[in-house]
Every structure is written in C-alpha cells, then in structure tokens.
Amino acid sequence: MQNAIERTNRNHGFTLIELMITVAIAAIVLSITVPSLTALVDSHRVKASRDQLVSALQRGQQEALANTRSTYLCPTRNGNSCAASWSADNGWLLYVDDDRSNSFSAANDQLITVQQRIAAEKIKSAAVSQRFFPSGRSVAASFAICSANSDVDEYLVSIDLNGRVTYAKASSSDCA
C-alpha cells in the first residue's frame, strides 16, 4: 500500500535530456524552414511591386485617353518631384501634363497617384520617365523589378508603342 501512495505523489515533469532533445529538434526544423520563408516573403514583395507598376502603367494609359493630354510616370524619392533616374529608394509619380511642359509641376499638372518606396529591392530602367500620348500610344520601355535575394524570380515589365503592358521573368543581365 505504501508503494502505491509513493508512486502517485511522484512529480511528473521533463528530464533535462528530454528537454535538450526537444530543443535540438526545434532548432533543426527552424533552420530548414526559415530560409524558405525568407524567399517566400521576398518573392511576394517582388510580385507586389510588379503588379503595382503594371497597374500604374495601365492607369497612365487610361488617364491619357480620358484627359486627351500626355500622361507621365516618373521616378520619385520625395513624392513631390520627379527624380533624375530610378534607384533603390524610388517610388513613382503618375501625372497628367496639363501645362504640356513634359515635366511635373505641382501647381500646373494633375497628380494622379504617388507610390512611395516600392516593396522590391529596386526598379531599373533606361527610361527616366514613361510617356503616354493622348491617343493611348506610348514610348516603348522596359522596367526590371529586382531583388537582392538570388532565390527569387525577378520580372521585366515591358510596354510597347501601342501602350500594351506585359511582363515576364527577367534574365540575369536585366538586374545586374
């Protein structure tokens, strides 16, 4: 009878060995899943930036047709003026060129949208700004959406002379 009482009063806990094995297994599982999770998040950022740029380009064409004025998409660092080139910390301005000066003037032009810093690492383009004519046609250009993570697909967004926007996976030279 005494042995039965002693067995029920005994502490039920984990030994140090059991705890160490559990921590080791958790560390192994985390070391396998964290890198793939980082790549997943980076991939989502690049795709979100691609979709935002495609949407802005399509909206630029629609606004040019609706307002019968040229519409521009240009890089911006501060949201108030166009930058001289695309860089890692850029977003973009989309505006209707009401004064027909071929440059953004807050006092004279209609600002359609401002995209502050993009989610992807950077956008690269030889074109400083993208112009849509009142007919809906455009200047042909391409924009590479790049990531610092080499495991993530990067995209090349292209626009042809008719204003048609397409995208495809970028080659290694597009983001180099």
Superfamily of domain 15-169: minor pseudopilin epsh domain (3.55.40.10)
Name the β-bridge partners of 157. Answer: 143, 167
> Taking the model in full, what pTM does it have?
0.78
- Residue of 120, 23, 130, 8 whose CA lies nearest to 75: 130
Each residue's pLDDT, cut to its tens digit, for the chain (176 residues) gives 555 555 555 667 788 898 999 999 999 988 887 777 888 888 888 899 899 999 999 999 999 999 899 999 999 988 888 998 888 778 899 999 888 888 898 888 999 999 887 777 788 888 889 999 999 999 999 999 988 887 788 999 999 999 999 999 998 888 87
Question: What pLDDT shows up at residue 106?
Answer: 84
Other C-beta atoms closer than 10 Å to the C-beta of 87 total: 12
